[in-house]
Amino acid sequence: MTVQIAIAPSAASRTAEQPGTQAPAPQPRHKSRFWSIRGELSRRTAWLLTGAGLSLPFVLWWLWTALGLADPMFMPSPGAVLERIGRWWTGEGLLTDIGISVWRVMAGFGASALIALPLGLYIGTYRPVQAFLEPLTDFIRYMPAVAFIPLVMLWVGIDEGSKVLIIFIGTFFQMVLMVAEDVRRVPMAQIEAAQTMGANRGEIVKLVILPSAKPALLDTLRITCGWAWTYLVVAELVAANSGLGYAILKAQRYMHTDKIFAGILLIGLIGLFTDQAFRWLHRRAFPWMRK
């Protein structure tokens, strides 16, 4: 032992801290793997952290109000908000409000997807269509959808059509560009392989580009669906007499802060639920993406 150490002075200095150990034991292993870059996390720890992250603001909120640090007029307690949701459900037509809001989002988002998917596919596949439409779409995209509201009200009025149209304007132009980008990301080698097997243009679009881009397209729909909810509230804040956004606005008029809280939380919950549904669909529809 000692002879070996004498021969290799650098090794000796390294092991000097642990007399008695023989080989240079892999000590750095103890250096927290928790913070390793892009490291792995056990399922249990992941769930625990998710739970902690989600409940943290609620705990803080509860503490803040329970300790009487806030004026309940401006900052209702979690209990009060929960109670308000109950009353909203039984006496104030919560289900109707949710129903009408979900319908508006689905109509605006659905119409947007219906046109954006084929249009984006064409922009991403054919250069002439891209040159013709993409700069225009990019230009309109930068016009704030909210600024269209006065115009939409003048043109379409204040009935259902206007809310759906605002959601459409808010999501459509972004969606087209994202779809086009998804389609452009299909590897050229996949397309060229089909070409050298004799596939014609239609077959390449149908059998290669579409199935190849599908997972990315579903992700695009998931992300733009979130935006649709944002524009729903904008539309309902301005021109509606029903729906979650309208309820929030009306609550402000009567200083019902608990109902404002309730409305915001409910929209968040619906969004979270939709997002998870999209993710579930993604896992179900594309088993080949799993390693």
Partner 1 sequence: MSDSKIRVRQVGKTFVSDQREVQALDAIDLDIQANEFVTFVGASGCGKSTLLRIIAGLETQSRGEILLDGKAIDGPGVDRAMVFQHYSLYPWLTVMQNIKFCRQLKVIGDTVRNDGDVETAAGRADALLNLMGLTRFTDAYPSQLSGGMQQRVAIARALMPKPATLLMDEPFGALDAQTREVMHDLIRHVHKLEKSTILFVTHDVEEAIYLGSRIVLMAPRPGRIDSIYEVPLPAQRNQDMKLAPEFTALKREILGRIRETSGMQTDLDQLARLTAVAG
Among 72, 99, 135, 187, binds partner 1 (CB under 8 A): 187
> 142 or 288, CB closer to partner 1?
288
SS (H, E, C) 200-255: CHHHHHHHHHHHHHHHHHHHHHHHHHHHHHHHHHHHHHHCCCCCHHHHHHHHHHCC
> 87 or 127, CB closer to partner 1?
127
Query: Is there binding between residue 198 and partner 1 (CB under 8 A)?
Result: yes
Q: Which residues between 15 and 34 bind partner 1 (CB under 8 A)?
A: none
Instruction: Give the rounded distance of the alpha carbon of 93 from its chain centre.
Output: 28
Query: Is there binding between residue 3 and partner 1 (CB under 8 A)?
Result: no
CA pair distance 244, 237, nearest whole angstrom: 9
Query: Is there binding between residue 95 and partner 1 (CB under 8 A)?
Result: no
Give the type of residue at 252: Q
Query: Is there binding between residue 284 and partner 1 (CB under 8 A)?
Result: no
Q: Could you tell me which residues come within 8 angstroms of residue 125 by beta carbon, excluding any fewer than 6 positions away?
A: 183, 205, 209
Q: Could you tell me which residues come within 8 angstroms of residue 12 by beta carbon, excluding any fewer than 6 positions away?
A: 5, 6
- Residue 95 tokens, joined: 């289900």
- Identify which range of 23-31, 55-63, 189-197, 233-241 contacts partner 1 by CB under 8 A: 189-197
Report the nearest approach of partner 1 to the CB of residue 127 (Å): 16
Q: Build a one-symbol-per-residue string for 214-233: x at contacts with partner 1 by CB under 8 A, - elsewhere.
A: x-------------------
- How many CB atoms are located within 10 Å of the residue 92 CB? 13
Among 70, 194, 223, 249, binds partner 1 (CB under 8 A): 194
Report the nearest approach of partner 1 to the CB of residue 140 (Å): 31
Total binding residues toward partner 1, as defined by CB under 8 A: 24
Helix (H, G, I), strand (E, B) or coil at 75: coil
Phi, psi torsion values for 12, nearest 5 degrees: -60, -45
**Token pair 């989600």 is at which residue?**
54
> 72 or 187, CB closer to partner 1?
187
- Residue 32 tokens, joined: 């927290």
Report the nearest approach of partner 1 to the CB of residue 193 (Å): 4
Helix (H, G, I), strand (E, B) or coil at 68: coil
- Identify which range of 96-104, 154-162, 208-216, 249-257 contacts partner 1 by CB under 8 A: 208-216
Among 50, 55, 200, 252, binds partner 1 (CB under 8 A): 200
> 133 or 194, CB closer to partner 1?
194
Distances in Å between the alpha carbon of 50 and those of 33, 41, 56? 19, 12, 10
Among 27, 195, 252, 276, binds partner 1 (CB under 8 A): 195
Among 192, 252, 255, 268, binds partner 1 (CB under 8 A): 192
Summarize as ranges the residues that interact with partner 1 (CB under 8 A): 187, 189-190, 192-200, 203, 207-208, 211-212, 214, 286-291
